[in-house]
Amino acid sequence: MMKRTPLLFLAALLIVAALLPGCRERIVYTGAGDWLLLAEDPDDGNVPYNAHYLYVDADFSDGILEFKVQTYASIPNAVFDVQFAVLLDTDQNPATGLSSSNADDFIPPFDPPNDIGADYMVFVGIDTTTSGRQNENYVFGWDTTGQGGWSIEAEPVSLPYQPTNEDSVKGGVSLSALGNPSQIDVVAIMLCDPYNFTDRYFDHIPDLNEGHVTIDLDNGSVAQTPSQSAGVTINLNSGRRVSLITGKELILEEAR
């Protein structure tokens, strides 16, 4: 009996090793196991449905990167009650894109994405005006040659998911729209309850000044990095005529 145990263990290892590559190819999107955890965020701010977990879908081979934020409490209506922005530093260069060094150049100032320089933004949400919706579920690119800002319209968000009374929001982007990067540094900012001018909350995931996460598309892995300081103060009460996340001017007064 004593000699059989190592043999059984070895056989089990061989079976697992043989199955693993096949499992990677046969991922079916039916449950939490299909998502890679990027970051866990504290229960912060005054809005009960602030962000808890940030995920990316585990299949890097289909050309689409899908992101999911899971909240502490249920979101009454995810279309109107949150704006989920996934900020992507596709050249891993903090000196390009939206960063803490240029976020104050805009009115109102952008909320800087911790320590990265975001070149693209997957924006799952809308800006509501009295005349309708603007900037709905779109991937924007940072304009580095003109005046800056999210003026490049890359593509519509893939597979937007904005349910009622659920605790998650999802949206994706094609890798081709991002220029097929091999690694991406990521910070998400979820604006919770955007039209509540006293309690709305810019929830950073990873948390404010807690750095970013890195998606390694070549190796199929994710990694967190040490925290760094963004060091920018935001005045939440200014500039209601400009979208707080996209920075785009809103044509009419906001309806809600």
What residues from 136 to 175 belong to the interface with Ca ion (CB under 5 A)?
Answer: none
If one asks whether residue 96 binds Ca ion (CB under 5 A), the answer comes out as yes
Residue 108 preceded by cis peptide, ω within 30: yes
CA distance 53 to 14: 34
CA distance 50 to 68: 13
* Minimum separation from the CB atom of position 43 to Ca ion (A): 6
* Minimum separation from the CB atom of position 48 to Ca ion (A): 10
- H/E stretch holding 74 reads strand 64-77
If one asks whether residue 185 binds Ca ion (CB under 5 A), the answer comes out as no
Tokens at 147, concatenated: 């005046």
If one asks whether residue 119 binds Ca ion (CB under 5 A), the answer comes out as yes
If one asks whether residue 238 binds Ca ion (CB under 5 A), the answer comes out as no
Q: Of 206, 46, 191, whose CA–CA distance to 113 is shortest?
A: 206
At CB < 8 A and 24+ separation, what contacts does 131-135 make? 131/251, 131/252, 134/243, 134/248, 134/250, 134/251, 135/243, 135/246, 135/248
Give the binding range for Ca ion (CB under 5 A) out of 41-49, 124-132, 193-201, 237-245.
41-49
* Minimum separation from the CB atom of position 11 to Ca ion (A): 46
* Minimum separation from the CB atom of position 82 to Ca ion (A): 12
* Minimum separation from the CB atom of position 207 to Ca ion (A): 4
Site string for Ca ion, 54-93 (x = CB under 5 A): -----------------------------------x-x-x
* Minimum separation from the CB atom of position 204 to Ca ion (A): 5
In the complex with Ca ion, which residue's Cβ is closer, 111 or 127?
111
DSSP 122-180: EEES-EEETTEEES-SEEEE--SSSS-SS-EEEEEPEEEE--EEEEEEEEEEETTTTT-
In the complex with Ca ion, which residue's Cβ is closer, 205 or 250?
205
Sites of contact with Ca ion (CB under 5 A): 41, 44, 50-51, 89, 91, 93, 96-97, 117, 119, 203-204, 207
